[in-house]
Structure 1
């Protein structure tokens, strides 16, 4: 039995079916998943456990959202651009995954894109005799991040709750501003304080200013983002950002 079923490199790996090579002692498995299988660069990316093995090629959402995946396939084909450092190089643009209904596969797809970027970065770095970054990708769960914010901004929150929540919140903020590739999941927050919106604005502004690609998911049409952010920032999200519509009703329970 090989270890390929639990490794995101199972697609491009030429020894994925060789039980003598494909084990938990494989240095590439350890680099991506850690010796335990729950660490490494995949864990550093903060991708939810349910989505840590899914890639664009094998995403179950592909079947139900063929038009969206036509755009996504073309998008991930641009990931080689991350290694072109010339001033004239075309940059990797951003994507806005939208559907009015929840559960149509946006988050699964965003995670699949993040994993596919991680694979491209890891393999491409080794091919160029570079050390892959420890965290080339980060997944920011908007709901989880707002929960952390609320945990230390309520009245009379005990220190043993407020301090760890605050530390985790600001650590995620710093990472999201600088990581080469970010998924900002569920950014359509209408019921947020001005302080929380300000921090979200800081992330988006930093990324747009520094030409860092971001995959957004939201139930808010991109044309209505000015109701969530201010008009200036909404315009910045739309800049160099392709909209990918997801259609149909919720398909939750179909994850792979």
Structure 2
């Protein structure tokens, strides 16, 4: 056989050199042909370079996906009206040093992790206790977990909800009361913060009842936070709303010292 005229089998591999990784075995890759004539071939590049390129591209794709995921979460937080100060709250950053704090954390985690079941039942949780005890922290942690699972969330103080329902009174271009009520009663999870920090008029109680009753009738989960005890909460929201909360709700006490006050004292 003429060594100067190698066969196709002999052309399957050859030694090539990579400036970075040195010699490597390059393989012939036949190009498609539509005739009986031998087709052209291309030679494989350095496998180490190929792996590094693939790893860089995969890392870039993961970074792009993570950035897109973070943007989706940020967009959801904006739609949920979650204040920027609360957006870094998480279960992991919640300090639980006592049995009572661990109980509160456990209730919040269970609610978040089993949200589909609570959505089926229309469960309610009332986080009640002193100012600065972490009620908002755990409520936000639940909200973030629920959002990351693709559910809709809306956060507002009780006072803000009343103002939203009344906005059309002063601004004819604002959403009407019925439109706002439909949004508040249809969102997957509603967090009502600072129940009791309002004027506590009969009109306000009626408007809050419309929200609580609408969610109760449609089996929509709700989290409420309040600084009030049970008796004062009953007075703030009225007997009808209080009765709705009790049926599928759990009262979660936050009866320890003010976290924020302790932080200030330690400085």
**1:103 to 1:25, Cα distance in 2 relative to 1, 3 A:** closer
- For 1:139 and 1:82, locate their aligned partners in 2 and report how far apart those are by CA, in whole Å: 18
Higher relative contact order (CA 8 A, sep 6+): 1
**1:231 to 1:142, Cα distance in 2 relative to 1, 3 A:** closer
**1:59 to 1:170, Cα distance in 2 relative to 1, 3 A:** farther
Higher CA-based Rg = 2
**1:230 to 1:193, Cα distance in 2 relative to 1, 3 A:** closer
Tell me how far 1:244 sits from its aligned partner.
0.9
TM-score by length of 2: 0.64
Q: Which runs of 5+ in 2 are unaligned?
A: 1-58
Deviates more, 1:139-148 or 1:175-184: 139-148
Choose the corresponding residue for 1:143, options 146, 155, 159.
Answer: 159
Does residue 79 of the first structure (1) align with residue 115 of the second (2)?
Answer: yes
**1:235 to 1:80, Cα distance in 2 relative to 1, 3 A:** closer
Tell me how far 1:140 sits from its aligned partner.
1.6
Choose the corresponding residue for 2:184, options 176, 193, 201.
Answer: 176
**1:61 to 1:142, Cα distance in 2 relative to 1, 3 A:** farther
Larger strand fraction of residues:
2
Count of paired positions? 202
Q: Which runs of 5+ in 1 are unaligned?
A: 1-17, 34-39, 84-89, 123-132, 154-161
Superposed CA RMSD: 3.1
Tell me how far 1:218 sits from its aligned partner.
0.8
Does residue 97 of the first structure (1) align with residue 127 of the second (2)?
Answer: yes
Larger helix fraction of residues:
2
- For 1:23 and 1:143, locate their aligned partners in 2 and report how far apart those are by CA, in whole Å: 39
TM-score by length of 1: 0.66
